[in-house]
Amino acid sequence: MAVPSGASYGWRARIGFIQPSAGNPNHPHEFYLLAPEGVTISLMGLRSLEDPPEEFLSQESLDRALRRLPAAARVLAAQPVDVIVQAGVPHVTAQAYGIEERLKADVAAVTAIPLVIDVRASIEALQTLGVTKALMVSPFTEGASEQVASYVGHDGIAIVGAHRVNPGAYGGLYTLSLESVYREVKTAYRRLGAGCDGVWLPGAAMPSVGILDVLEGDLGVPVVSSKQAMVWAALRTAGVSLVKAGYGRLWESPRN
């Protein structure tokens, strides 16, 4: 499809994407693997260059990201965008269940643009595929994983096993390869996957999109990742149909 003369690249939809880090090369790359023509992403990082060094997923870093969410939404609204996405599952699940309504209200106070929340997009994606017993593979610490499992349990999703992909073993999240993630998932499935009816890969900083289809074929169960679920939810919210194949069963579900 040819782009109309004089139109911006986001002539179909513009998705504002708020990431907790200052920047992540996986976010734009995987977004454009999934997004159809005419849809663009505007990235906003929540970490300041003036922030002190911190422990991975420390409570202070999680809380600070949520405090800065409305300000980031205001910046994106001025661009403007059609949908705003909050990335970061542990940032929400470290809070009491019900925090999503407060976050939506905080953003609604600065803009009427709809907000997609990472963990809620994942929950809805898992429910769409009929997953009620999930194996979770993520870069999260044990404590963060326990909080995630408790949170999604409120929505009828049981985490039957949790496997950590240790970023330090690979030089950090941004240097993780798709092959490494693929092998970690298969290892976890063999060890912990008994009784699960799907695999969930939260932790959008971890690359995942390029292996979803292959994992589903090899494991024989649906596989949902945070990045896939967030883009899926954002496109649906923007009224854009999903037209690409090869990115998992979620892209082929009737609700699309």
For 117-173, the pLDDT digits (tens) are 999 999 999 999 999 999 999 999 999 999 999 999 999 999 999 999 998 898 888
Q: Give the pLDDT confidence score for residue 86 in this predicted structure.
A: 96
Confidence of residue 66 (pLDDT cuts 50, 70, 90): confident
Which is higher by pLDDT, 235 or 241? 235
Rounded to 5 degrees, what are φ and ψ at 5? -60, 130
Q: Give the pLDDT confidence score for residue 57 in this predicted structure.
A: 64
Q: Cα(175)–Cα(87) distance, rounded to whole angstroms?
A: 19
Co-location of 248 and 217 in the same domain? no
- Contact predicate 174/148, CB 8 Å: no
Rg (alpha carbons) of the chain, rounded to whole number: 17
Whether 7 is covered by a domain: the verdict is no
Q: Give the pLDDT confidence score for residue 61 in this predicted structure.
A: 77
Confidence of residue 59 (pLDDT cuts 50, 70, 90): confident
Nearest to 111 by CA among 87, 88, 79, 89: 79
Whether 2 is covered by a domain: the verdict is no
Q: Give the pLDDT confidence score for residue 21 in this predicted structure.
A: 77
pTM given for the model: 0.92
Query: Could you list the residue range(s) of the whole structural domain that residue 147 is in?
Result: 121-225
Q: Which two tokens stand for residue 141?
A: 């610490």
Domain count for the chain, please give it. Answer: 2
Q: Give the pLDDT confidence score for residue 116 in this predicted structure.
A: 98
Co-location of 85 and 125 in the same domain? no
